[in-house]
Amino acid sequence: MTIQQKLEQIEAALAQALVQYRDPAELYDPVHYVLSAGGKRIRPLLVLLATEAVGGETTDAMNAALAIEMLHNFTLVHDDIMDRSSLRRGRATAHIQFDENSAILSGDVIVGIASKLLSASAQHSHNPSAVFDVFSQGFIDVCEGQALDVAFTKRTDVHPDEYFGMIERKTARLLETSVHIGALVGNGDPQHTSALRTFARDIGLAFQMQDDILDVEGSHGFGKTPGGDLIEGKRTWLMLRAREKATGKPEFQELVQTFFSQNGIAPTQVEQMRTHLIQEGVLAEGTAMVEKLTEEAFVHLHKLPDSTARQHLEELATTLMERTT
Amino acid sequence: MTIQQKLEQIEAALAQALVQYRDPAELYDPVHYVLSAGGKRIRPLLVLLATEAVGGETTDAMNAALAIEMLHNFTLVHDDIMDRSSLRRGRATAHIQFDENSAILSGDVIVGIASKLLSASAQHSHNPSAVFDVFSQGFIDVCEGQALDVAFTKRTDVHPDEYFGMIERKTARLLETSVHIGALVGNGDPQHTSALRTFARDIGLAFQMQDDILDVEGSHGFGKTPGGDLIEGKRTWLMLRAREKATGKPEFQELVQTFFSQNGIAPTQVEQMRTHLIQEGVLAEGTAMVEKLTEEAFVHLHKLPDSTARQHLEELATTLMERTT
């Protein structure tokens, strides 16, 4: 089965899983709105491919795959409320399209549905409690990551290394959780499970760093503002590193100072910041890090025996890293 | 072990379970604030007593008991945001004490912690997936109940019977879920499990109806406003029934009309409404319903063999029904 076919299966299964959740409409209309908005469906794909890569049946893992995608979407709905974001995937965010109360409660019920779907897949594992333990820990870590992300915007002393602790939880953990659960449902051996986890974690870190770089480079995904992170004052690794490297360079330092003290720069200053980040080699350092993480990820992936699923995992990771938007 | 001793064990276990959740403080301070505020701890007690009543070990069920208490507290935190409540258990609600973003995210992570604790207890059940299935369904139902409750305040055509569908999900389901999970962890036989569930459901319905009656009677719990439901325009069964019975009684009808069209009456009108509800027998009907539900609950409870746990369940239910605040 090709990746494309798996993605089609995921969409069909997702639609099917939601059929029974229609009433009350006040609760479930936002759920359908959010979950039908598309997205790359990377996480459910990782679940299915991990199950297959360790020799399990992907049909056993489909409900777990949907559970992870729902957990991901739940975090987006609540994060968008907290970040006051009005746009997601080119559409109004849930709290804008409906209202804030609906977005809170509908986000909540998505977790309930996710948890229920997971219990259907967990029974295929030799250790169903472990499936829930991993899911719950991933859930907790993602909340911690979001809390750190918010806390960073209020701090002026964040060290570049702390950034990785934050995105490891906020972004990478859910990718790691995806393959971990896939491997548990497929009853993979501990070495393969562990290798898959490190692979997904490294790809997750690289993915987020790549995202931050693309934002500065001016490429922008569907529904994103170019340079948006710089305007919003987002404490990315690039900006934390920029602060270190700006010492002794007055113009750069002043701009970086503005970024941190005023929580972002003006749209008219984006080009200037970009030039400095390129000239001072900050972007190059970031790019080198993405390459190193990606390489390491593949070393871990190759600890698994060759298979179509392993090739698809490699293909998926490569696509993610080569994207320009 | 007495009920009091079990309650002390629950408090100690809860404190212990939270020790590891301290950092980041932005995320976990509100969690500790909410979970250390007390409350009657009825739900975790129900879990432990149900496990014991079907012949299981309460130590196996403690983590599940905490999970249920956390799920309950999570719903309170998010409901308080949605209802714009500023007071809970005599203290500022989480979104007032901290801020709304903190309350949303800390509420979320409480679910993650609950789910993690549940996975520790679930392994004692012969069917761990069922434990999660029941927990998740309870979670979904509580969200549906809250959505219906919110939706009712915007509708003028709610029938008294619909009220039971709402409180069955919003209030009774979590009590039912508590004993259901306790029975699953204790590996109770299906008949006893089913009897415990009906017992808890009936007690839950009676409990909510009793709560509504106490509000009108002017008794009021710690941190509640007497007549608060009438002032807030809460669509209780009493008021839905009042609308039916007010036909042809101009003064009563006008007051009821005001309640529904203006979403509540003035504090100065509470006494007048109370008098009508008593004179027209609405309160008496409610009280009769509480008694009937309580009686039925005990019939189901008595399907279980006599034991200390069964006696404690009876004692707990009686205390809940005899309370005057």
CB contact under 8 A, B128 and A133: no
CB contact under 8 A, B105 and A151: no
How many whole angstroms separate alpha carbon A109 and alpha carbon B254?
Answer: 39
Residue B118 with chain A: CB contacts under 8 Å: 132, 136
Q: B117: which residues sit within 8 A by CB, 6+ positions away?
A: B17, B63, B64, B66, B67, B70
Residue B24 with chain A: CB contacts under 8 Å: 144, 147-148, 151
AA identity, residue A57: E
DSSP state of A269: G
* Model-wide pTM > 0.90: yes
CB contact under 8 A, A105 and B130: no
| DSSP letters spanning B90-146 | TEE-HHHHS-HHHHHHHHHHHHHHHHHHHHHHHTTSS-HHHHHHHHHHHHHHHHHHH
How many whole angstroms separate alpha carbon B205 and alpha carbon B207?
Answer: 5
pLDDT digits (tens, 9 = 90+) for B20-73: 999 999 999 999 999 999 889 999 999 999 999 999 999 999 999 999 999 999
| Percentage, residues of chain A above pLDDT 70 | 97
Residue B133 with chain A: CB contacts under 8 Å: 116, 119-120
Place of tokens 């069917």: B127
Min distance B102 CA to chain A CA atoms (Å): 8
pLDDT digits (tens, 9 = 90+) for A242-262: 999 999 999 999 999 999 999
- The predicted pLDDT at position A325 comes to 59
CB contact under 8 A, B140 and A78: no
Residue A101 with chain B: CB contacts under 8 Å: 81-82, 150
CB contact under 8 A, B123 and A137: no
How many whole angstroms separate alpha carbon B77 and alpha carbon B92?
Answer: 11
Min distance B262 CA to chain A CA atoms (Å): 21
Show the DSSP H helices in chain A as ranges: 3-18, 25-35, 42-53, 58-82, 94-97, 100-122, 128-153, 160-167, 173-185, 190-217, 228-232, 237-245, 250-261, 270-279, 282-301, 308-322
Min distance A172 CA to chain B CA atoms (Å): 17
Min distance B246 CA to chain A CA atoms (Å): 29
How many whole angstroms separate alpha carbon B147 and alpha carbon A22?
Answer: 12
What is the average pLDDT score of chain A? 94
Which one of B122, B133, B147 has the shortest CB-CB distance to A105?
Answer: B147
What residues does A91 pair with on adjacent strands?
A: A88
Q: Searching chain B, which residue's CA lies closest to the CA of residue A29? A: B147
Q: Searching chain A, which residue's CA lies closest to the CA of residue B25? A: A147
How many whole angstroms separate alpha carbon A49 and alpha carbon A183?
Answer: 9
Which one of A109, A132, A148 has the shortest CB-CB distance to B119?
Answer: A132
CB contact under 8 A, B129 and A130: no
Residue B76 with chain A: CB contacts under 8 Å: none
CB contact under 8 A, B143 and A108: yes
Give the pairing type, strands B91-92 and B87-88: antiparallel
CATH of the domain at A279: 1.10.600.10
B16 φ/ψ sector (left φ>0, alpha ψ -120 to 50, else beta): alpha
CA angle A52, A173, A94 (to 5 degrees): 100
Using CA atoms, how far residue A197 sits from A47, A178, A188, A308, B259, in Å, is 11, 9, 12, 18, 58
Which one of B115, B129, B150 has the shortest CB-CB distance to A136?
Answer: B115
Interface of A with B (CB under 8 A): 24, 26-27, 78, 81-82, 101, 104-105, 108-109, 111-113, 115-116, 118-120, 122-123, 128-130, 132-133, 135-137, 139-140, 143-144, 146-148, 150-151
CB contact under 8 A, A112 and B139: yes
Q: Which two tokens stand for residue B249?
A: 């009684």
Which one of A104, A130, A151 has the shortest CB-CB distance to B78?
Answer: A104
Using CA atoms, how far residue A194 sits from A60, A188, A200, in Å, is 20, 10, 10
How many whole angstroms separate alpha carbon B151 and alpha carbon A24?
Answer: 9
The answer to whether B197 and B179 are in contact (CB under 8 A) is yes
Q: Searching chain B, which residue's CA lies closest to the CA of residue A83? A: B101
How many whole angstroms separate alpha carbon A256 and alpha carbon A275?
Answer: 13
CB contact under 8 A, B105 and A82: yes
pLDDT by position in tens, chain B (length 325): 899 999 999 999 999 999 999 999 999 999 999 999 988 999 999 999 999 999 999 999 999 999 999 999 999 999 999 988 899 988 999 999 999 999 999 999 999 999 999 999 999 999 999 999 999 999 999 999 999 998 998 887 899 999 999 999 999 999 999 999 999 999 999 999 999 999 999 999 999 999 999 999 876 555 566 788 999 889 999 999 999 999 999 999 999 999 999 999 999 999 999 999 999 999 999 999 999 999 999 999 999 999 999 999 999 999 888 876 5
Q: A16: which residues sit within 8 A by CB, 6+ positions away?
A: none
Which one of B24, B120, B150 has the shortest CB-CB distance to A144?
Answer: B24
With residues binned 3-state (H G I as helix, E B as strand, rest as coil), the percentages for chain B, rounded to 5, are 75, 0, 25
Count of domains forming chain A: 1
CB contact under 8 A, A111 and B139: yes
CB neighbour class for A20 (10 Å; exposed up to 12, middle 13-18, buried from 19): exposed
User: How confident is chain A (325 residues) per 10-residue block, as mean pLDDT?
Assistant: 94 97 97 93 98 97 98 96 90 95 97 96 92 97 95 87 94 97 97 98 96 83 72 93 94 95 93 96 96 96 98 94 71
Q: A305: which residues sit within 8 A by CB, 6+ positions away?
A: none
Around A289, how many Cα atoms within 13 Å sit in the side-chain half-sphere?
A: 22
The answer to whether B106 and B98 are in contact (CB under 8 A) is yes
Q: Searching chain A, which residue's CA lies closest to the CA of residue B83? A: A101
Min distance A79 CA to chain B CA atoms (Å): 9
The answer to whether A79 and A110 are in contact (CB under 8 A) is no
Range of B94's domain? 3-322
Residue B130 with chain A: CB contacts under 8 Å: 119
CB contact under 8 A, B116 and A129: no
Using CA atoms, how far residue A293 sits from A44, A298, B211, in Å, is 22, 9, 58
pLDDT digits (tens, 9 = 90+) for A259-278: 999 999 999 999 999 999 99
pLDDT digits (tens, 9 = 90+) for A196-233: 999 999 999 999 999 999 999 876 555 566 788 999 88
CB contact under 8 A, A133 and B120: yes
Task: From A21, A34, A33, A26, select the one nearest B150 (Cα to Cα).
Answer: A26
Residue B120 with chain A: CB contacts under 8 Å: 129, 133
Three-state SS at A147: helix
DSSP state of A92: E
